[in-house]
Amino acid sequence: MSTIFDKIISREIPAEIVYEDDLSLAFKDINPQAPVHLLIIPKQHIATINDITEENREIVGHLYWVAAKIAAQYDFAKDGYRVVMNCNEDGGQSVYHIHLHLLAGITMGWPPFANNRPKQV
Ligand code: 5GP
């Protein structure tokens, strides 16, 4: 299934792209939650973390490698940053094409969830 991120990859819709290689693309989130809020996505369509397979798993390591590369380039590697990948409804995923959120420029809080009653799992 095609998503808005496929349209960003194909340049059908604009985005502020900060990094690109054969496998991935990184661009600014349209609704930033931190002074730096980038999305790092594979060019290959993988809908959710649940769709990572033995064949495509290496791309996820690649996305983390890109995150570290950008952190060094933008000089927030030493101060620190957060990298998050949301999965499905409870994880807060809204675009079904896996992406790393790279957040920086502010001290992060923990835990990251809203103050809701935990589910029975
Ligand atoms: P998720 O909620 O799936 O973890 O994250 C999706 C992210 O994509 C959100 O932070 C949202 O602001 C961002 N987003 C959604 N549509 C667009 C878009 O058209 N352009 C950009 N740059 N970001 C988008």
pLDDT of 119? 77
pLDDT of 118? 76
pLDDT of 111? 87
CB 42 within 8 A of CB 73: no
Find the distance separating the first CA and the last CA of the chain, reported in whole Å: 29
pLDDT of 113? 79
User: 92 CB under 6 A from ligand 1?
Assistant: yes
Residue 15 alpha carbon, nearest atom of ligand 1: 22
Nearest-CA residue for ligand 1 atom 12 is: 31
Residue 18: enclosing H or E segment and its boundaries? strand 17-20
pLDDT of 1? 79
pLDDT of 120? 73
Query: Catalytic residue positions?
Result: 99
pLDDT of 117? 73
Q: Give the residue from 114, 110, 109 showing the smallest Cα distance to 90.
A: 114
Written as tens digits, the pLDDT of the chain (121 aa) is 799 999 999 999 999 999 999 999 999 999 999 999 999 999 999 999 999 999 999 999 999 999 999 999 999 999 999 999 999 999 999 999 999 999 999 999 998 877 667 777 6
